[in-house]
Amino acid sequence: TPEVDEGVDWVELGLLPTPADPPDNPTTAEKVELGRLLFFDPRLSGSGQIACASCHDPDLGWADGRTTSFGHDREPLRRNAPSVLFAAFQPALFWDGRAGSLEAQAAAVLRNPKEMHADEEIVARLAAVPEYREAFAEVFGPGGVTIDRASRAIAAFERTLVGGRSRFDAFLKGDRAALSDAAISGLDLFRTRARCLNCHHGPALSDGQFHDLGLSYYGRSLEDLGRFAVTGEPADVGRFRTPSLRNVTATAPYMHNGLFELDGVLRMYDAGMATIRPKEDQR
Amino acid sequence: TPEVDEGVDWVELGLLPTPADPPDNPTTAEKVELGRLLFFDPRLSGSGQIACASCHDPDLGWADGRTTSFGHDREPLRRNAPSVLFAAFQPALFWDGRAGSLEAQAAAVLRNPKEMHADEEIVARLAAVPEYREAFAEVFGPGGVTIDRASRAIAAFERTLVGGRSRFDAFLKGDRAALSDAAISGLDLFRTRARCLNCHHGPALSDGQFHDLGLSYYGRSLEDLGRFAVTGEPADVGRFRTPSLRNVTATAPYMHNGLFELDGVLRMYDAGMATIRPKEDQR
Ligand code: HEC
Ligand code: HEC
Ligand code: HEC
Ligand code: HEC
Ligand SMILES: [Ca+2]
Ligand SMILES: [Ca+2]
Ligand SMILES: [Ca+2]
Ligand SMILES: [Mg+2]
């Protein structure tokens, strides 16, 4: 039986469900296909050079392998690009959870001048491509190409990126030989003494909540206060959303700032798990 | 003692020497520094978005982690981007060896419309940056910014990317604990029965020569005849330059077309080493 700290509302590990699509953006095969085209198309960016896939490349675990990403004009961004695999299972997107849906997330990135840098010019550029004109009409009806529609198609595509064929899944389905003995004892540690299950639980191995592991770099050049920037709550200083650990070996480097390799993450936890103890002024 | 096929002119594995700089492009600290700036500067590309480091990123083993790279306008290129670490030790650059020096290689990439897409406009763009005007004058004297000079500075920078602090180097220096028992027996296999030393020899673990491992995909959509495109010699069909194996675990995926992971490479060799047996019409 798992060991979890008191008060933690945990969910057992398990097979991934099919992600639910929101009522105002039902998934259809045509929409997914349009989303896929858009996801890989650099014409969505102001420069014409950067696609979603530039930072979320299937070859790199649907991330980019960089410590932190490079945006428009190769300006360094401040955060590590998370994989979009399994993003469909997160209740809030971005390391600080500032987007409430994949639709909102895509629109935010598209409009961000530091990332895709898309604007009405891009919309006109896409609308000039006959295949896009037709696909948008087929999927959304009259009304043409809009950033909102593009975002909805991309979100529908992302909801299909949910893996589910890992050795861990095979093990869950009953194939005991799918995991090595070392992996099984790791899984046991994960669920018990190592306390990982406190935050990395449920089929996606994430509670979707925000926690402070002491990586805010408060007062230093790498400072990133995480969730605090969204809520303004002192208790949220240094809190970041728990990432999924599915397919995690493919998405080095780790943490919101990409400063660790996997062994570094484990050494950090080993040196002492972050204790959830509010500071004086946070009580 | 190593086992090598008859007639193979092999060199023992060993510590890397300092790469020699060519007489017409002596290395100086200022030149290296200018080369470093240029290497990471997206202004060298026609779009202003792509730097050398976009495809040769230190975070990704000085390569890009992609199966094959994406060039200007995110057009897919046909080959896997090799690391520029240790490139200084190769007598000929590119998978097909078509560049005879790092200087010629850099100039070729800069001018290639599918890659950097640089031209006189770029030169003017760089010359408009006071720091570059000064640095080019300091390093090369009067004569301003030219692609040729930029290429020489980049080449000088690349000659500094030569690693040399691996566990293998520690082992060579006498620290026997630096390699695990498994690694040591792998090294022994490498030098003997596995026949790797036939081609991967010398300090850089490459003979700098061209060999056909049967990966030309002749007649199929991925066809790439390798060295043949440079020499026109039938014997060169399917031959590619032996890559260095230093730091090789950091530069997945593998081979000129990026179609293999490391286990796939080993399985390929295990299934039967390519036999150097000319076809009827190649004799
Ligand atoms: C220039 C690099 C870059 C580009 C281009 C880019 N992203 Fe991202 N993406 C990032 C980074 C960095 C983050 C994390 C940002 C943060 O947390 O503040 C991120 C976060 C995300 C997330 C949240 C994942 C999670 O687990 O919270 C999703 C989903 C996503 N991107 C999808 C997209 C889509 C769709 C596009 C194209 C419309 C796109 N990205 C373009 C770098 C990029
Ligand atoms: C208190 C909540 C909590 C606990 C307990 C916890 N984690 Fe985490 N984990 C997080 C958060 C939050 C992050 C992201 C932190 C950041 O980016 O600053 C994270 C990040 C990670 C990452 C990096 C993932 C990525 O894609 O960057 C790994 C790996 C990881 N945790 C594994 C573990 C393991 C193994 C354990 C148990 C030893 C564990 N975690 C326990 C909350 C937790
Ligand atoms: C768009 C991606 C991309 C960009 C940008 C790029 N490269 Fe490359 N690089 C490649 C690919 C792909 C190859 C292999 C091409 C081939 O063999 O035909 C390569 C090959 C090389 C090699 C040969 C390495 C070897 O072992 O043979 C060197 C050196 C190199 N690039 C340096 C540079 C420099 C310097 C720049 C900037 C001026 C640069 N590259 C820009 C993708 C890129
Ligand atoms: C006949 C010459 C030859 C022999 C023998 C040989 N190699 Fe290679 N090796 C090459 C060539 C040439 C390539 C590149 C082939 C290509 O890209 O099409 C290569 C590629 C590789 C790569 C991929 C490197 C990269 O960066 O893409 C690895 C790993 C490798 N060899 C390991 C080995 C091992 C291990 C052995 C012994 C079992 C071995 N090689 C024997 C010539 C050889
Ligand atoms: Ca791969
Ligand atoms: Ca990561
Ligand atoms: Ca490679
Ligand atoms: Mg790294």
Give B156-182 pLDDT, tens digit per residue: 999 999 987 899 999 999 999 999 999
Number of compact structural domains in chain B: 2
The answer to whether residue B108 is domain-embedded is: yes
DSSP for residue B56 = S
- Do both B153 and B209 map to the same domain? no
- Do both B33 and B140 map to the same domain? yes
**CA of A260: which chain B residue's CA is closest?**
B59
A49 closest CB neighbour out of B47, B59, B258: B47
The answer to whether residue B154 is domain-embedded is: yes
Q: What percent of chain B has pLDDT over 90?
A: 81
Among positive and negative, which fits the CA dihedral B73, B76, B78, B80?
positive
The phi-psi region of residue A246 (left if phi > 0; otherwise alpha if psi is between -120 and 50; otherwise beta) is beta
**Residues B133-153 pLDDT 10s:** 999 999 999 999 999 999 999
Task: Count H helices and E strands in chain A, helices first.
Answer: 10, 2
Taking the C-alpha atoms of residue A80 and residue A65, their distance in angstroms, rounded to an integer, is: 8
Backbone angles phi, psi at A241, to 5 degrees: -70, 135
Structure tokens at B220: 């199929």
Report whether pLDDT(B278) > 90. no
The answer to whether residue B1 is domain-embedded is: no
Enumerate residues lining ligand 1, CB below 6 A: A 50, 52, 54-56, 69, 71, 77, 79, 81-82, 84, 87, 90, 93-95, 102, 105-106, 109-110, 115-116, 154, 158
Number of alpha carbons in the 13 Å side-chain half-sphere of residue A225? 12
CATH number reported for the structural domain that contains residue A228 in this entry? 1.10.760.10
Report whether pLDDT(B276) > 70. no
- Strand (E) positions, chain B? 210-212, 239-241
- Do both A145 and A222 map to the same domain? no
Taking the C-alpha atoms of residue A228 and residue A218, their distance in angstroms, rounded to an integer, is: 12
Structure tokens at A153: 């198609």
Interface of B with A in 74-93 (CB under 8 A): 74
Domain boundary residue, one of A158, A193, A222: A158
Report whether pLDDT(B264) > 70. yes
pLDDT at A111 (0 to 100): 84
pLDDT at B280 (0 to 100): 54
| Ligand in nearest proximity to the CA of B186 | 4
- Do both A128 and A87 map to the same domain? yes
Q: Is the CB of A83 under 6 A from ligand 2?
A: no
Catalytic residue among B75, B103, B115, B280: B115
Enumerate residues lining ligand 4, CB below 6 A: B 95, 194-196, 198-200, 211, 213, 215, 240, 242-243, 245, 248, 251, 254-256, 265, 269, 273-274
pLDDT at A232 (0 to 100): 95
Taking the C-alpha atoms of residue B160 and residue B163, their distance in angstroms, rounded to an integer, is: 8
The answer to whether residue B12 is domain-embedded is: no
The answer to whether residue B207 is domain-embedded is: yes
Q: Which residues contact A219 (CB under 8 A, 6 or more apart)?
A: none
- Do both B184 and B115 map to the same domain? no
- Do both B251 and B190 map to the same domain? yes
pLDDT at A117 (0 to 100): 74
Read off the pLDDT band of B204 (50, 70, 90).
very high
| Ligand in nearest proximity to the CA of B84 | 3
Note the residue count of chain A.
283
In this prediction, the residues of chain A whose per-residue pLDDT falls under 70 are 273-283
pLDDT at A283 (0 to 100): 46
Interface confidence, given as ipTM, is 0.88
A-chain residues within 8 Å CB-CB of B66?
Answer: 57, 59-60
Residue A257's CB: how many other CB atoms inside 10 A?
A: 19
Catalytic: A115?
A: yes
> Do A140 and A149 contact (CB within 8 A), yes or no?
yes
Report whether pLDDT(B282) > 90. no
A257 contacts chain B (CB < 8 A): no
pLDDT at B199 (0 to 100): 96
Backbone angles phi, psi at B269, to 5 degrees: -65, -40
Query: Where do runs of H (alpha helix) occur along B141-241?
Result: 147-158, 167-172, 181-191, 228-231
- Do both B178 and B114 map to the same domain? no
The answer to whether residue B21 is domain-embedded is: no
Catalytic residue among A30, A75, A103, A115: A115
* A157: nearest Cα among A15, A17, A59, A19: A19
The answer to whether residue A22 is domain-embedded is: no
**CA of A53: which chain B residue's CA is closest?**
B74
- Do both A45 and A89 map to the same domain? yes
- Strand (E) positions, chain A? 210-212, 239-241
Mean pLDDT of the region B214-242: 94
Provide the domain limits for residue B154.
Answer: 29-158
pLDDT at A112 (0 to 100): 82
Distance between Cα A196 and ligand 8 center (Å)? 23
Owner of token pair 């004892």? A185
Report whether pLDDT(B283) > 50. no
- Do both A262 and A186 map to the same domain? yes
- Do both B153 and B171 map to the same domain? no
- Do both A112 and A54 map to the same domain? yes
The answer to whether residue B10 is domain-embedded is: no
- Do both A113 and A226 map to the same domain? no
Q: What percent of chain B has pLDDT over 70?
A: 96
B-chain residues within 8 Å CB-CB of A51?
Answer: 74
B47 closest CB neighbour out of A47, A67, A70: A47
pLDDT at A221 (0 to 100): 87
Taking the C-alpha atoms of residue B282 and residue B231, their distance in angstroms, rounded to an integer, is: 14
B65 closest CB neighbour out of A42, A47, A59: A59
